[in-house]
Structure formats: C-alpha cells, structure tokens
C-alpha cells in the first residue's frame, strides 16, 4: 500500500520540525496579537468559485471537488483566505472588533504535478489582517513574515513587491497587454498562447526566455495606475525603507488569485530550487464584500510549510532529546514500585520510557543504551525485597542504590543535573 501521489506521511523524525514551527509562530503571532482560527477542510465548491476567480489555475485544474451523499458539490480547500473570509462573514466577526487579526495553519489540496516542494496535500501557515485600508497593514504583515523566517533560520530570501492597481486599472492594462502580445502570438511559449485568451496577466509569470523578452518591451502596469494606487504603493515602499527591509519592485509579479488589489508580494528564497516562492500575499479590499459581507479592506499572506522546511537551517534548530530515563524491571507482577517511580517522574517532569517488552534485564539495558537514554532505573527481586532502586548512569556506567524513601530527593538532583 502506498500513499496517494503527491501526499506524504510526516514521520516522527520530521514532526519535530513541524512542532518547533508551531511553537515559534504561535509565540510571534500571539505577541503581535494575532489569533489562531481553524476552519473546516471542506467547503461548498461555490465559495472558491466566487473568490479565487474563474480563469485561475486553481479553479481550472487544481481543485479536489466531489459530490457528497446528498449531491452537494464539496471542495477540499485549496487555500486559506477564502475560508477565513467565509468564516468572518458567517460568524459575523465584523460585529465585534473592526480590525481582526487572524492566523491559521493546516493542510491545503491542489491537484498539481508533484515535485520537490510541490505536493497535492501541502500545508500553509497564513495570516489575515482584516479591516484596514492603510498601507501600514501591509508593513505589519510583511514584517511578521520576515520575523518568522528569521527565527526559523531562513536566511537567503528576497522580497518581491508590486502594485497591481484596482480592478479597472488592471482591466485596461490586461487589454493592452493582450493586444500587444497578440502581435507575437506565434513566438510565445505554448502555455502562454493558451493563457492569452482567458488569463493574459498570468503570462507575466512565464519562465520562458523568449516570452520574457517579448514582455520586456511590452506595456507595464505602472503606467496604468492612477493617483490613489500610486500613492498607496509609494507609502508601502517608504515604510519598507524606513524599516530597512530590502525589497525588489517586480513589475511582473502577478499573483495567481483574482481577489488581490494594490499590493502583491512574494518572498522567494535564493536557493536554486524550482519551487522558490515560500510566501505569497497581498491586499484584498473587495473579497469580503464580494462574498456578501460588509466592505472590509484586508491584507494577508500564506507560507508553504513544506518549502519553508526545505529552506530551514535544520540542524541548528532542533536538538534530539537524549535525556530519557529508562525503567527496566524483572518483576512486573509487583508493579507498585514502578508506579511510585512514574508518579515522581510526572512530578519532576522527567522524560521516561517504561520497558514493556517482556525481555530479560540484560536485553532491557541494551535497549536503554540503543535509545541513548541518560539513565536506567533497574528494579528486580532484590530491589523489591529491600525497597531500593538501582540507578545506572549510562554514559559513565556508574551505578547507585537509592532507597525508596530517598528517591524523591534523588530525582530532584537528577532533574537539576539533566538541566545543566
Ligand atoms: P506556485 O506558483 O509555486 O504554484 P502559487 O502562486 O500557486 O505558487 P499561492 O497560492 O500563493 O501559491 O500559495 C502560497 C504558498 O503556498 C506558495 O508560495 C507556496 O509556498 C505554497 N504552495 C502553493 N502550492 C503548493 C503546493 N502544491 N505544494 C507545496 N506548497 C505549495
Ligand atoms: Mg500554484
């Protein structure tokens, strides 16, 4: 039996990175007063159709959509923002605080060709700063993304940023871009030729050299932006300058989702990976209204966690826990003493493993060594008769007999010496 193509088990060895990420991001986001939210993995298909946009890759070919037993069309969420928006509206979160700072972490599903850093079930961490039209909101979310990368030891990145204007500006630009590119139709790569009709903006994303050359001489979005779009972008850039955050204005950066306006940004790693975008985000002022909520300008981003982990300086982040105390015994029928010891382990919060193998004591000790345990507590007939525990320090092989009534103090001492 194999896992489905494009899906992966996260085994105990690797889960430690995920737990560490969860721990670090919870700390950073809580400090910035962002609140975690968990929405269902399945939603009505309509939610994504109405938000992500008809001519995007996600809607056209990547969704996991099926009919349930009552013939409802259901989709496994391909991204987080649509669901958060739905939740914001259906729970009337807007009745409370006018500004909502939310974050989520969970699996997303897209039917794509699996590659390194590209899966069919993958995970996103995302934040949404809901309710502010101010450029400072962009800076807040970008700053948090960079903080997270910094604390997870992702060092080589570049922040790409662009203004994609409002709907009208983008429409005018798209029309001009289309008529320009039409003149070179036959020189464009195959994929771009297909996109020319229904999603011409995405051609800017093409990795094809020839297509890129043609685009270089074509119309640029900046020319189509009017005062308010330009001003918004200028303020964003000024703040970034003030904060000394390096960025690159990338006039070909167009995100793959329809709901963005004004600011779009990506954080790319400088590693020579194919999948080098680890974070994508932008402003979405109209989405909430478009889905039936009140007019609520917002901005957010999502980080792909598999790609993040590929770029983490992993070794420096996590130390293997070698401070296990192994409990070996030969008389499980007289378990009273074992439970007394385990109670004390709980009190002093020591990590332990009780042998449950039915092997003889020698084999149990070998197991303790294999595990890399620091200490082994040994309990056999003699120990039970005379009410003591044999404690063996495995790295020095020194052995002590600790009377039960002194065990409390001894564990206090162990706790202290394992810390140092
Ligand atoms: P790409 O152009 O690489 O397909 P995208 O524009 O579709 O990315 P977004 O929808 O912006 O990606 O999602 C935000 C982030 O989620 C991406 O930057 C990436 O890190 C991650 N991501 C998206 N799709 C996948 C996937 N299939 N597998 C793993 N990570 C993904
Ligand atoms: Mg994609």
User: Which region holds residue 131: left if phi is over 0, alpha if psi is between -120 and 50, else beta?
Assistant: left
307 close to ligand 1 (CB < 6 Angstrom): yes
Q: Tens digit of pLDDT for each residue in 377-412?
A: 999 989 999 999 999 999 999 999 999 999 999 999
The list of the chain residues with pLDDT below 50 reads: none
Q: What is the CATH number of the domain that holds 389?
A: 3.40.50.800
Question: To test ligand 1's pocket by mutation, which of 116, 280, 311 has the most ligand atoms within 8 angstroms of CB?
Answer: 280
256 close to ligand 1 (CB < 6 Angstrom): yes
Does some domain include residue 277? yes
The residue contributing the CA closest to ligand 1 atom 25 is 118
Does residue 131 sit in the same domain as residue 22? yes
Of the residues 301, 317, 333, the one at which a domain ends: 317
Does some domain include residue 191? no
* Count: domains in the chain: 2
The number of residues in the chain equals 420
Of the residues 266, 295, 317, the one at which a domain ends: 317
24 CA distance to ligand 1 middle (Å): 22
Ligand nearest to the CA of 79: 1
Does residue 112 sit in the same domain as residue 76? yes
Does residue 119 sit in the same domain as residue 19? yes
Position 333 scores a pLDDT of: 67
Q: Which residue has the tokens 């964003």?
A: 236
Position 319 scores a pLDDT of: 60
Are 343 and 361 in contact, with CB atoms under 8 Å apart? Answer: no
The residue contributing the CA closest to ligand 1 atom 7 is 256
What is the rounded distance in angstroms from the CA atom of residue 243 to the CA atom of residue 147?
Answer: 13
Does residue 245 sit in the same domain as residue 356? no
What is the rounded distance in angstroms from the CA atom of residue 52 to the CA atom of residue 93?
Answer: 22
Position 23 scores a pLDDT of: 96
292 annotated as belonging to a binding site for a ligand: no
What is the rounded distance in angstroms from the CA atom of residue 222 to the CA atom of residue 45?
Answer: 35
The residue contributing the CA closest to ligand 1 atom 12 is 280
Give the neighbor-by-neighbor strand order of the sheet with 35-36. Answer: 35-36, 100-109, 121-130, 298-304, 277-283, 261-269, 157-163, 248-249
Does some domain include residue 171? no
80 close to ligand 1 (CB < 6 Angstrom): no
Q: Which atom of ligand 1 is nearest to the CA of 57?
A: 7
Ligand nearest to the CA of 256: 1
Does residue 311 sit in the same domain as residue 345? no
275 CA distance to ligand 2 middle (Å): 10
Range of the domain at 335: 325-419
Question: To test ligand 1's pocket by mutation, which of 307, 309, 310, 311 has the most ligand atoms within 8 angstroms of CB?
Answer: 307
Does residue 157 sit in the same domain as residue 294? yes
Position 317 scores a pLDDT of: 59
415 close to ligand 1 (CB < 6 Angstrom): no
74 CA distance to ligand 2 middle (Å): 20
59 CA distance to ligand 2 middle (Å): 11
Q: Tens digit of pLDDT for each residue in 206-255?
A: 889 999 999 999 999 999 999 999 999 999 999 999 999 999 999 999 88
Position 419 scores a pLDDT of: 80
Does some domain include residue 281? yes
The residue contributing the CA closest to ligand 1 atom 23 is 304
255 annotated as belonging to a binding site for a ligand: yes
Does residue 270 sit in the same domain as residue 414? no
124 CA distance to ligand 1 middle (Å): 9
Does some domain include residue 180? no
What is the rounded distance in angstroms from the CA atom of residue 122 to the CA atom of residue 142?
Answer: 22
Does some domain include residue 177? no
Does some domain include residue 134? yes
195 CA distance to ligand 2 middle (Å): 15
Tokens of 227: 């005062």
Q: What is the CATH number of the domain that holds 286?
A: 3.30.930.10
Does residue 235 sit in the same domain as residue 337? no
| DSSP per residue, 375-400 | EEEEE-HHHHHHTEEEEEETTTTEEE
* Closest to 79 in 3D by CA, of 61, 65, 63: 63
* Burial group, residue 208, by CB count within 10 angstroms (0-12, 13-18, 19+): middle
DSSP state of 80: S
Does residue 98 sit in the same domain as residue 242? yes
Does residue 40 sit in the same domain as residue 155? yes
Does some domain include residue 173? no
112 annotated as belonging to a binding site for a ligand: no
277 close to ligand 1 (CB < 6 Angstrom): yes
Does residue 79 sit in the same domain as residue 159? yes
Tokens of 28: 């950073």
Does residue 307 sit in the same domain as residue 336? no
169 annotated as belonging to a binding site for a ligand: no
Of the residues 317, 336, 361, the one at which a domain ends: 317
126 CA distance to ligand 2 middle (Å): 16
């Amino acid at each position: 039996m194999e896992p489905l193509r494009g899906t992966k088990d996260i085994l105990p060895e690797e889960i430690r990175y995920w737990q560490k990420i969860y721990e670090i991001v919870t700390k950073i986001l809580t400090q910035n007063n962002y609140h975690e939210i968990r929405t269902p993995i399945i939603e009505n298909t309509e939610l994504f159709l109405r938000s992500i946009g008809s001519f995007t890759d996600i809607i056209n070919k990547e969704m996991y959509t099926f009919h349930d037993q009552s013939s409802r069309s259901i989709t496994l969420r391909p991204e987080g923002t649509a669901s958060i928006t739905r939740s914001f509206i259906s729970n009337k979160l807007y009745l409370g605080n006018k500004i909502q700072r939310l974050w989520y972490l969970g699996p997303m599903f897209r039917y794509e060709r699996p590659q390194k850093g590209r899966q069919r079930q993958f995970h996103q961490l995302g934040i949404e700063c809901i309710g502010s039209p101010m450029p400072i909101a962009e800076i807040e979310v970008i700053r948090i993304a960079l903080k997270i990368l910094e604390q997870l030891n992702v060092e080589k990145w570049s922040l790409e940023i662009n203004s994609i204007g409002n709907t009208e500006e983008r429409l005018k630009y798209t029309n001009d871009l289309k008529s320009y590119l039409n003149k070179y139709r036959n020189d464009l790569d195959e994929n771009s030729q297909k996109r020319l009709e229904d999603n011409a903006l995405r051609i800017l994303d093409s990795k094809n050299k020839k297509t890129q050359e043609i685009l270089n001489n074509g119309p640029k979005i900046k020319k189509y932006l009017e005062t308010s779009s330009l001003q918004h972008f200028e303020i964003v850039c000024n703040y970034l300058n003030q904060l000394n955050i390096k960025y690159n204005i990338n006039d070909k950066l167009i995100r793959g989702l329809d709901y963005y306006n004004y600011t779009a940004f990506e954080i790319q790693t400088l590693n020579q990976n194919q999948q080098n975008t680890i974070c994508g985000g932008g402003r979405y002022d109209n989405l909430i209204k478009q889905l039936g909520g009140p007019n609520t300008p917002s901005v957010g981003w999502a980080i792909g966690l598999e790609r993040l982990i590929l770029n983490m300086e992993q070794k420096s982040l996590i130390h293997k826990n070698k401070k296990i105390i192994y409990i070996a015994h030969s008389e499980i029928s007289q378990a009273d003493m074992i439970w007394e010891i385990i109670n004390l382990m709980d009190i002093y919060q020591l990590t332990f493993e009780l042998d449950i193998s039915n092997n003889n004591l020698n084999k149990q000790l070998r197991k303790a060594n294999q595990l890399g345990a620091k200490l082994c507590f040994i309990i056999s007939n003699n120990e039970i008769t005379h009410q003591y525990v044999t404690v063996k320090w495995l790295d020095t092989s020194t052995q002590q007999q600790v009377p039960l009534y002194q065990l409390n103090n001894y564990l206090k001492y162990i706790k202290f010496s394992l810390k140092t």
